[in-house]
Amino acid sequence: MLPDLPVLGRAGLAIAVANAAPEAKRAAHYVTARAGGEGAVREVVELVLKAQGKWEQTIRLARA
Percentage with pLDDT > 90 across the chain: 81
Per-residue model confidence (pLDDT) at position 26: 93
CA-nearest of 18, 64, 62 to 44 is 18
* Whole-structure pTM value: 0.83
16: which strand partners? 31
Mean pLDDT score of the chain:
93
C-alpha triplet 13, 2, 38: angle, nearest 5°: 60
Q: What is the pLDDT of residues 16-38, one digit of tens each?
A: 999 999 999 999 999 999 999 99
